[in-house]
Structure 1
Amino acid sequence: MLLYLNLDGEGPPTSEQREAVAASLTTLDRAYEWSHEGLLYSIAYSPAYFERFEASLPATVDLPAPTSLSDFETPTFDTQDAVVHLASDRADAVLEAEEALTGQQERVNGIDVEARLTDAFTVDSRRTGFVGAGLPAQNQNAAGIPDSKPVPEESPLFMGFIAGFVGNQATEEYVTLDEGPFAGGTTKAIANIRQRLDDWYGEQDYDERVMEMFSPVHAEEGLVEGVGANLGDNSGIDEMLDDILDQAREHARVGHAQKAARANRDDDGNVRLLRRHFESTDDIGSDQKVASLHFPSLQRGISAFEEVRRAMNGTDVTAATPAVRQRVNNGILEYIFTRRRGNFLVPPRRHRVLPSPRPT
């Protein structure tokens, strides 16, 4: 669950607001074990929040305002002051924590609620989702998915494949800021993406979907079976990067993963982004169920995320072959539409409560 929050009032936070936020977060710490069986959560702050102060963020923090990252997207920018991310294997824990933070519970998991996050903030947007094989299939009665219900039972994604392979993810250590007052923290980019999968399942056969999700060679050599569980911890995408233009010319398609991976490695071959995406049926602003995706990404600086996202556009590939166009045959761009985007700083624990731009 993502709770987007606006701080009440103008200017910097007050001491009373800081006390309320500190007490509300401490309540969660006391009520739940810090684990996937208890509750995992973070609070992060936007560029707009830090504009409340006269001082600016230090150069060690790369946190620009959100922007459009392709010629064909027009997202609404999330400029709320903060976002709280709640996660657990237990849906009841997430919902109880939300109720404690927003004043709907006086006790949470046996602990008294002494203060509420809403004593300082107003909730602007509530967004929910799910993670796990089988859940997309159970929730595929949503706009954007064919009536034939094609999502495989074993898939963790509406698009029918595994993503977020361990070997294709940055480590927590890699994405952690290592200097400045926010050392120990990280940055978080969050997008909300609408999925329209009628053509994905209706016009593309299985091999074509493999080509567009991974790479043409993955399909040609039969590297992917079913949803891709046979790939183990690594999709093997690093081996498909050097001849990406030749593959596109030969097969008239380019893979989503191979485009992004070109920018998602540093000079030493380390993965730069730690993705924490989860599926959803949220249609932000309405009660309609739609196939969507919440895409939080953690990285040392937002610029890293922006470079990887721009690489997904595949502009060099469209120049290399007329078969690959701005969206068509260009990875999965034909089927996904960015509706929201926001950038945030996740402070280290010592500065998690309404920090100033240069805390001591």
Structure 2
Amino acid sequence: MDRSDRGLPRREFVKRAVAVGGAAGLAACLQREEPEDVPQAALAPEELPSRQHAWNEFLSTDDHGNDVPPRHHLLLALEYVGDGPADAADERDQLEAAFQTLERAYKRGNEGLAFTVGYGPAYFDRFESDLEGVELPDPEPLTALEDPALDEYDALVHLASDYGHVTLSAEEALKGELEDLNGLAVEGTLEGVFEGAERRTGFIGRGLPAEKQSGVAGIPDGEPVPEDAPMFMGFKSGFRRTQASEDRVTIDEGPFAGGTTIHLSKLNLHLNQWYEQDSREQRVAKMFSPTHAEEGLVEGAGHNLGDSSRVTEVADAADEAARRKGTVGHAQKTARAREGGEPIVLRRDFDSTDDDRAGLHFLSLQRSIDDFVTTRTAMTGGDLTDGSVGQRTNNGILQYITVANRANYLVPPREQRALPEPAPTRD
């Protein structure tokens, strides 16, 4: 950080510091955030849920009971440094000590830290035995128009907090760059086991996208992102009744029972037409449904909708909307992917300005990757456009996103999160 950063708003400065990372980014972030004491853990590691992805009970909620995600996010893609299968007991002990250091140093949730550790197909390919009880396919393009990079990282650590300096401090501790973390000694690191391959950063929350939109590729000049929007496209997401429960996305049998899977997509946003040519009514129709636009259901970013976007009420009318109105809503299409009336994926995605361009890290949890594919197929809506995703001008928001990367990970239960074997024995 240099003198040119001194005039930046605090939250924009923090975003840049998180993106830069390292000791310099952490120091700058600490200086500008002026944090109060961040609470240490209220629970010992052994008292935490077995499910790594059990965040919701520790997250803040809004007036409607919606879970409020942490504002700052950091994704660390890792490569295992060994040549063969990861089977050294001392390496497992070292990693578990590192993860428990994070759990002891910070209270779980928004005001402290939430994190998960996942492993990709490339990691499990190192073993002679097959992965048992879970289908973890290699990522692949999901439409004829996609040409994403297919990530082959061994592991992924997802760090999230309302404070940018907390995610950066956790990263530095994992790298072995800190001796103390929030007043506690660092007892384990990733050193000698994993090395960093890529880091991605992001944010979500009312007001953050508006503060971070200036000079970002993919967003037109004039700062069109509304002040009350939690995401770049101007609308709220993550309504409680449009999200799968943590129970629904949890693997319920086999050696990895209590775990889940992650699908991670890196999406580039193209919002010039979205804000410069499309009207407010068109944006509502494409994001939610034509009915939402015609009946004026969405005020501002949609905070008035409470705990439901009300798209389940119009999901069955998606075909009619496409044929008769020439527009079908993104959420309207996606809501068709339900079982027993309930969603099958839990979204924990967030916006990004990595590489100085508007993006979205789409991170979803599901019991199986097939559940994500089912949901993504419904969102693509090829069946609504004569089977061709090429006819997509008014097909939700497809024309405003490009899939840059795809990846799949298994998130094992906490007791197996340090170098899991493909067929572990459960007590």
If the TM-score is normalised by the length of the shorter chain, which range does it land in? over 0.9
Match of 2:177 in 1: 104
- Looking at structure 2, the residues matched to 49 and 176 of structure 1 have their Cα atoms a distance apart, in angstroms, of 21
One-letter amino acid matched to 1:112: A
CA contact (8 A) 1:282 1:290 kept: yes
- Looking at structure 1, the residues matched to 130 and 118 of structure 2 have their Cα atoms a distance apart, in angstroms, of 17
Secondary structure of the equivalent of 1:239? coil
Determine whether 1:32 maps to 2:142: no
Determine whether 1:150 maps to 2:224: yes
CA contact (8 A) 2:322 2:385 kept: no
Give the structure-2-normalised TM-score. 0.80
Match of 1:277 in 2: 349
One-letter amino acid matched to 1:355: P
- Looking at structure 1, the residues matched to 398 and 265 of structure 2 have their Cα atoms a distance apart, in angstroms, of 15
Encode CA deviations 1:187-241: one digit per residue, 9 max, x unaligned.
Answer: 1101111001001111100000011001111111111111111111101101112
- Looking at structure 2, the residues matched to 326 and 246 of structure 1 have their Cα atoms a distance apart, in angstroms, of 16
Match of 1:69 in 2: 142
Match of 1:347 in 2: 412
Structure 1: which 5+ runs fail to align? 284-288
One-letter amino acid matched to 1:270: E
One-letter amino acid matched to 1:239: E
325 and 250 in structure 1: CA distance in 2 versus 1, 3 angstrom threshold: farther
Match of 2:368 in 1: 301
Determine whether 1:80 maps to 2:147: no
1:330 to 395, 411, 416: 395
- Looking at structure 1, the residues matched to 298 and 376 of structure 2 have their Cα atoms a distance apart, in angstroms, of 24
- Looking at structure 1, the residues matched to 354 and 316 of structure 2 have their Cα atoms a distance apart, in angstroms, of 38
Determine whether 1:132 maps to 2:205: yes
1:325 Cα deviation from its structure 2 partner: 4.8
CA contact (8 A) 2:218 2:271 kept: yes
CA contact (8 A) 1:313 1:326 kept: no
Match of 2:311 in 1: 237
Total equivalences in the alignment: 350
Secondary structure of the equivalent of 2:191? helix
Instruction: Decide which moves more: 310-319 or 169-178.
Output: 310-319
CA contact (8 A) 1:20 1:119 kept: no
Encode CA deviations 1:222-275: one digit per residue, 9 max, x unaligned.
Answer: 111111111111011011122212112222111111111112x01x11110000
2:277 to 196, 203, 206: 203
- Looking at structure 2, the residues matched to 140 and 118 of structure 1 have their Cα atoms a distance apart, in angstroms, of 36
- Looking at structure 1, the residues matched to 183 and 386 of structure 2 have their Cα atoms a distance apart, in angstroms, of 61
- Looking at structure 2, the residues matched to 40 and 119 of structure 1 have their Cα atoms a distance apart, in angstroms, of 24
Give the structure-1-normalised TM-score. 0.95
Secondary structure of the equivalent of 1:328? coil
1:74 Cα deviation from its structure 2 partner: 0.7
Match of 1:286 in 2: none
- Looking at structure 2, the residues matched to 230 and 112 of structure 1 have their Cα atoms a distance apart, in angstroms, of 45
Relative CO higher for 1 or 2, CA cutoff 8 Å, sep ≥ 6?
Answer: 1
1:111 Cα deviation from its structure 2 partner: 1.3
1:29 Cα deviation from its structure 2 partner: 1.7
Encode CA deviations 1:2-40: one digit per residue, 9 max, x unaligned.
Answer: 000000021111333222211211211221112221111
1:213 to 273, 278, 287: 287
Encode CA deviations 1:297-342: one digit per residue, 9 max, x unaligned.
Answer: 000000000111122221121118x9x9533111101101110110
- Which 4+ stretches in 1 moved above 2 angstroms? 14-17, 324-327
Structure 2: which 5+ runs fail to align? 1-73
- Looking at structure 1, the residues matched to 281 and 302 of structure 2 have their Cα atoms a distance apart, in angstroms, of 12
Match of 2:43 in 1: none
